[in-house]
Amino acid sequence: MRSLFVSGGVVALAAAACGPSNGGGGACKDDLLPGDLVITEVLADYAGPPGGSGADAGKEWFEIYNASGRPLELEGLKVTHSRPDGSKAKSHTMGKVTIDPGQYLVLGNSVADLLPPYVDYGYSADLGDLFNTDGGKLRMACGDAEIDAATYEAVRAGHSRQLSAASPPDYTFNDIAANWCEAKETQYEPNNFGTPGQDNDCVPVVAGACNDNGTMREIVPPKEGELVITEIMAKPTAVSATVGQWFEVKALADVDLNGLGLDRANDNNIAPEVLTSPNCMRVTAGSYVVFARSSDPLMNGGLTTAGTFKFTLNPTTVTPDVRLLHGATIIDAVTWTTSTSGASLSLDPDFTEATANDDPANFCNGTAPYNMSGASTDRGTPGAANPKCALVPQAGQCIANGVLRAVVKPAAGQLVITEFLANPAGTGTDATQEWFEITNTGATAFDVNGLGLKGNAAGINVVQSAECKSVAPGGFALFAHTIDPLQNGGLPDVDGTFTFALAQSNGSITVLDGATPLDAITWTTGILDGVSKQLDPNKTNTTDNDVPANFCNAKAAQQYNPEIANFGTPKAVNACL
**CB count in 10 Å sphere of residue 210:** 25
**pLDDT, tens digit, 9 for 90 and up, residues 448-474:** 999 999 999 889 999 999 999 999 999
- Confidence at residue 178, expressed as pLDDT on a 0 to 100 scale: 85
- Residue 157 to residue 132: CA distance in whole angstroms: 8
What sign has the CA pseudo-torsion 557, 561, 563, 564? negative
- Confidence at residue 442, expressed as pLDDT on a 0 to 100 scale: 97
Please check whether residue 368 is in contact with residue 379, taking contact to mean a CB–CB distance below 8 angstroms: yes
Cα angle: 160, vertex 165, 170; to 5 degrees: 95
- Residue 550 to residue 471: CA distance in whole angstroms: 24
- Confidence at residue 457, expressed as pLDDT on a 0 to 100 scale: 86
Please check whether residue 449 is in contact with residue 437, taking contact to mean a CB–CB distance below 8 angstroms: no
In 3-state terms, what secondary structure has residue 361?
Answer: helix
- Confidence at residue 269, expressed as pLDDT on a 0 to 100 scale: 77
Q: What is the DSSP letter of 279?
A: B
Give the β-pairing of 345-347 and 363-365: antiparallel
**CB count in 10 Å sphere of residue 411:** 13
Q: What is the mean pLDDT of each run of 10 residues along the chain (577 residues)?
A: 35 34 62 97 90 75 97 97 97 96 97 93 96 97 96 96 92 93 93 96 84 87 98 97 98 98 90 92 98 96 96 93 96 96 97 96 95 93 96 90 94 98 95 98 98 94 96 98 96 97 96 97 95 97 97 95 96 89
**Radius of gyration of the chain measured on its C-alpha atoms:** 42
- Confidence at residue 51, expressed as pLDDT on a 0 to 100 scale: 64
- Confidence at residue 394, expressed as pLDDT on a 0 to 100 scale: 86
- Confidence at residue 327, expressed as pLDDT on a 0 to 100 scale: 94
Please check whether residue 532 is in contact with residue 421, taking contact to mean a CB–CB distance below 8 angstroms: yes
- Confidence at residue 13, expressed as pLDDT on a 0 to 100 scale: 35
- Confidence at residue 53, expressed as pLDDT on a 0 to 100 scale: 56
Please check whether residue 337 is in contact with residue 360, taking contact to mean a CB–CB distance below 8 angstroms: yes
- Confidence at residue 551, expressed as pLDDT on a 0 to 100 scale: 97
- Confidence at residue 48, expressed as pLDDT on a 0 to 100 scale: 82
**pLDDT, tens digit, 9 for 90 and up, residues 557-574:** 999 999 999 999 999 999
- Confidence at residue 263, expressed as pLDDT on a 0 to 100 scale: 97
Length of the chain: 577
Tell me the one-letter amino acid at 183. A
